[in-house]
Amino acid sequence: MLDSVVLPGNDVSQTIFEGESKKQDKIIGPGLVTNNGKIIVSNGGILRGKHNKLYWVEHRKKKYMPSKDDIVVGVVVAKTSELYKVDIGSHEFATLPYLAFTNATKKNRPDVKVGNVLAARVKATTPYMEAEISCVESANSVVLGLLEDGFLISVSLNYALQLKNPNSKLLSELGHFIPYEIVIGINGKVWIKTSSVQRTIAIGSAIINAEHLKEDDIPQLIKTLKM
C-alpha cells in the first residue's frame, strides 16, 4: 500500500508496522492518526514512508493541521498578559506561553515582539481549540526560538516535506554555491538567512522555483541565480 492512494478511514497499520523496527519507533506524520493501536488515514492522498520509520499521507491542502511534535515556523501576531499568539498557517493562531523558551524565567525571558519569526514545536493540540507551541529545546532537537535577520517564504505543505529530506539535492547544491542557514517548518514556512539580503532573496527564489523541477534541472536553475 506504500506509495498508493489511500482514503480517509483506511487502516494502514499492517503496512506501517511490518518490518524489523519496533512499533514505538514509528513516527506518524500528517494525514494519519492513531486509534486504539491502529493507524488510520485522516486525509486522502498518497501514503509515503521514509527509512521504515516516518510515515505520512501526501495530499494537497492549503491549511496546515497542527500535529503534536511538528516543527513549525511562525510569525508572532499578538501579545496578551501571559502568552503570544503565533500565526503558523493553520485555521487558528497558536498560543506560545511566555515561559515556553529554553532557560526562560519570569525575570529573564526573550524579548519577543509582534512581527518576529520563530521556530517552535507543537506541544499540544485539542479539537476546536488553538494549538499550543513551545520553543523549549529537547535533546538532539533542531534549534528552536527566535529567527532573526532572515527572510521568510511560504511553500506548499508537500514541498516542505520534500525539503526536509536530508538528501535534498536542491539544498545540497545551493549549499555548495553559497553558505546559508535554513529552518523548514512542516507547516510550509521556510526561514532563510545568508550574508546579504540579495543572496537571501536569491536562495528563496530558487527554492520556490524548484518545486516542480526534476532533479536533473536543478544545477541549471542554480546557474541562473544572480548574487
Grid coordinates of 59: 495530499
Question: Residues of CATH 2.40.50.100 domain(s) within the chain?
Answer: 5-58
Q: For cell 526562560, what's the residue?
A: 104
The contacts of residue 163 (CB under 8 Å, 6+ apart) are 155, 170, 171, 184, 190, 207
- Comparing CA positions, the residue from 54, 56, 52 lying closest to residue 20 is 52
The boundaries of every CATH 2.40.50.140 domain in the chain are: 71-147
The mean pLDDT of 181-205, rounded to a whole number, is 93
Find all residues with CB under 8 Å of 133, minimum gap 6, and list them.
Answer: 72, 74, 86, 88, 94, 95, 96, 100, 120, 121, 122, 123
Rounded Cα distance, 31 and 92, in Å: 18
- Say which residue, 174 or 25, is predicted with more confidence: 174
Higher pLDDT, 129 or 138: 129
Range list for CATH 3.30.1370.10 in the chain = 151-223
Confidence of residue 141 (pLDDT cuts 50, 70, 90): low
pLDDT band at 215 (very low <50, low <70, confident <90, very high): confident
| pLDDT reading at 142 higher than 80 | no
Q: What is the homologous superfamily of the domain 71-147 according to CATH?
A: Nucleic acid-binding proteins (2.40.50.140)
Q: What is the pLDDT of residues 97-120, one digit of tens each?
A: 999 998 888 888 888 999 999 999
Tell me the mean pLDDT in the region 86-97: 94
pLDDT tops 60 at residue 20: no
* Averaged pLDDT, 146-168: 88
What local confidence, expressed as pLDDT, does residue 64 receive? 87
Whether the Cβ atoms of residue 210 and residue 177 lie closer than 8 Å to each other: no
Q: Please give the share of the chain, as a percent, with pLDDT higher than 70.
A: 93
* Alpha-carbon gap, residue 42 to 173, rounded angstroms: 35
Thinking of the domain 151-223, which architecture would CATH place it in?
2-Layer Sandwich (3.30)
CATH topology of domain 5-58: OB fold (Dihydrolipoamide Acetyltransferase, E2P) (2.40.50)
